[in-house]
Chains A and B, each alone.
Chain A
Amino acid sequence: MKTKQITLTRFTKQCIVMFLITCLSTTLLLADTVVVANAGGSDDAVASSDIKNIYLGKKTKWSDGTKVVFVTLKSGDAHKAFLKQYVKKTPAQFKNYWGKLVFTGKGKAPKSFSSEEKMLAYISKTKGAVGYVSSSTKDASSDGRKVITIK
């Protein structure tokens, strides 16, 4: 049986390589994140579904009754990665979800920060606060904060 040999032009090969690089870069850009909480009041370990429910406003208290104060980043790779990994939403879908709650009177949008440094400083000073940073961020678990273990 004759087989047809497919010859790829140089341009086509370049396109394929660029496509693969883009896919790989996208994967690499979605950095791992760690969940960081105020050392007082919050649980040391929670289930992944609890993080999701916290960020969807469905879980409002830690196990000791302390009010959960969850915060977000305004944008960035850590924000996208966290929402994808735990909340199962894109940033646009997350914004729409909270937009629905705000414009029907059922909820208050979470505080959002333009940098991980500002988020970490807020978590340090706020009992019950929880947020997220890139896993490569230093000092996530210092200054009155702890990294929560995800069960």
Chain B
Amino acid sequence: MKNMITLTKALAFSLIVVVTMSSGVANVSHEDLVKIVNDQAKQIEQLKESRNDEIVSVVEEINEENSNPFGNIDIHGFISQGYMKSWNNNHLPNSKDGTFELNEIGINFSTQITENLRAGMQFFSRDFGDMGNHDIVVDWAFIDYLYDDALGFRVGKMKLPYGLYNETRDIDMLRTSIFLPKSIYDDSLRDLYVAIQGIGIYGNIDLGGMGDGSYSAQWGKNNYNTNEGLAKNYSDVGFLEVDDVSLGYMYNQQYIWNTPLDGLRLAATINVFDDLAATGPIVTDEYAMLGFAPGNYSEVVLNHFTRVIYSLEYTIDNLVLMGEYTKFEGDYVMNAENSFVPDLIALNEGPFNTGGWYTGASYRFNDLFEAGIYYSTTYDSDNKNNNDENVAISGRFDLNSNWIFKVEYQWIQGTRGLFASDNPEGYDEDEDSHMVALKTTISF
């Protein structure tokens, strides 16, 4: 603006000189010249004020455009509803007949308290067959203090950064497929890995020419509902009916390297559980003669187990390639109360280890349509021939910026992740399973 005033004064003065020189008569007083230049400057000031008014008016429009009726609190949410039909085995209760018991609802509230301090929480409800059953839970709720870009702290209940996609496994609109690969993101064990209550640290470090690195670590534990997969897994054995699941301790670390090659990121996750126990009364009379009567106390304890996940994601424009590998090992013991002796008796114990991996790709064809495919396999680490496989092919349609629709076909070989209680007539292990799912999600 100052430059404009100076330039305009100069132009005005030059014009005056040219006019007077061309007229051949320099008959203009100094006072007249000053008056002309000052008049020009006043006009420029008026232009400036009207421009400011214009800016204020535009800013008011902007504030209205980005206005939040709740003041400084940001609110976001989503609603998903799906349908599943399977063949040969039930992947959800009654899925061979078709089921709509496949939905999620979430709403979150967050606010920036100070420049470095943030707080928020998300309520979540889901129905996944006979798991979840629309119970409303606190999905996450924590306070986040960012000391600087390389170090921040979180306290409360947080989503667990486990693999690349665990934190958002319940958020349908953030991926191409309806179901994540079983080898890493088994839905039957979702509640084991979905969150942690405790403390966490995190940060991002610029590595100069080597890209940048992110790290996070969490310590704590979690509470588990008995209407979720963990309890159902233990009850499914048919020996006990789980009425409580508890965890002694968990810690988790994740490291992500955003490499110098644009679009390529690598990650490693280490997850450790101690004393995960499922307890409940014995429900079978099969061992009653030996003193393990129905109603006696029983427990399955995973003393210590470790899971590692190595991840790769490579994004090239609209194409995303991904792959993850996991190894899971630990030891367990199954104890039960015996009517003939005062102490718990160990019925079964030993090590366990499984592994698995998947690879996949997605491609966005245009603003409307994105397609994806993956292959996933899970196996016993000491017998890789005892493996399950599945292939998923997905299509996603972005009907607008808030509404999506998906369709997915899955071929499944094996029964890992399925429940015997969902298949009371037994599994069809001679035939592969097939499954088609549809899902729609609205988010804001």
A111 to B64, CA, bound (A): 12
Q: Is B233 interfacial (CB 8 A cutoff)?
A: no
Q: Is A117 interfacial (CB 8 A cutoff)?
A: yes
Interface set, chain A 7-57, CB cutoff 8 A to B = 49, 53
When the two chains form their complex, are residues A111 and B262 in contact, meaning their CB atoms are under 8 A apart?
Answer: no
Interface set, chain B 179-226, CB cutoff 8 A to A = 204, 206, 212, 214
Bits for A100-138, please: 1 = Cβ < 8 Å to B, else 0: 101111101101111001100110110000000000000
User: Which of B122, B144, B317, B370 contacts A103, CB < 8 Å?
Assistant: B122
When the two chains form their complex, are residues B62 and A89 in contact, meaning their CB atoms are under 8 A apart?
Answer: no
Q: Known contacts A90-B318, A121-B58, A122-B62; decide if A108 and B74 are in contact (CB<8 Å).
A: yes
When the two chains form their complex, are residues A89 and B59 in contact, meaning their CB atoms are under 8 A apart?
Answer: no
Q: Is B270 interfacial (CB 8 A cutoff)?
A: no
Q: Is B121 interfacial (CB 8 A cutoff)?
A: yes
User: Which of B78, B112, B115, B144 contacts A106, CB < 8 Å?
Assistant: B144
When the two chains form their complex, are residues B144 and A105 in contact, meaning their CB atoms are under 8 A apart?
Answer: yes
Q: Name the residue in A84, A89, A122 with the highest tally of chain B Cβ atoms < 10 Å from its Cβ.
A: A122
Bits for B65-92, please: 1 = Cβ < 8 Å to A, else 0: 1100000001010100000000000000
A residues within 8 A CB of B59?
121-122, 125
When the two chains form their complex, are residues A99 and B110 in contact, meaning their CB atoms are under 8 A apart?
Answer: no
Q: Known contacts A49-B206, A61-B149; decide if A104 and B66 are in contact (CB<8 Å).
A: no
Bits for B122-161, please: 1 = Cβ < 8 Å to A, else 0: 1000000000000000001110101011000000001100
When the two chains form their complex, are residues B66 and A53 in contact, meaning their CB atoms are under 8 A apart?
Answer: no
A103 to B175, CA, bound (A): 13
When the two chains form their complex, are residues A89 and B315 in contact, meaning their CB atoms are under 8 A apart?
Answer: yes
Q: Is B108 interfacial (CB 8 A cutoff)?
A: yes
Q: Using CB atoms and an 8 Å cutoff, list the residues of chain B in contact with chain A.
A: 1, 51, 55, 58-59, 61-62, 65-66, 74, 76, 78, 106, 108, 110, 112, 115, 118, 120-122, 140-142, 144, 146, 148-149, 158-159, 167-168, 171, 173-175, 204, 206, 212, 214, 262-263, 315, 317-318, 320, 364, 367, 370, 398, 401, 443
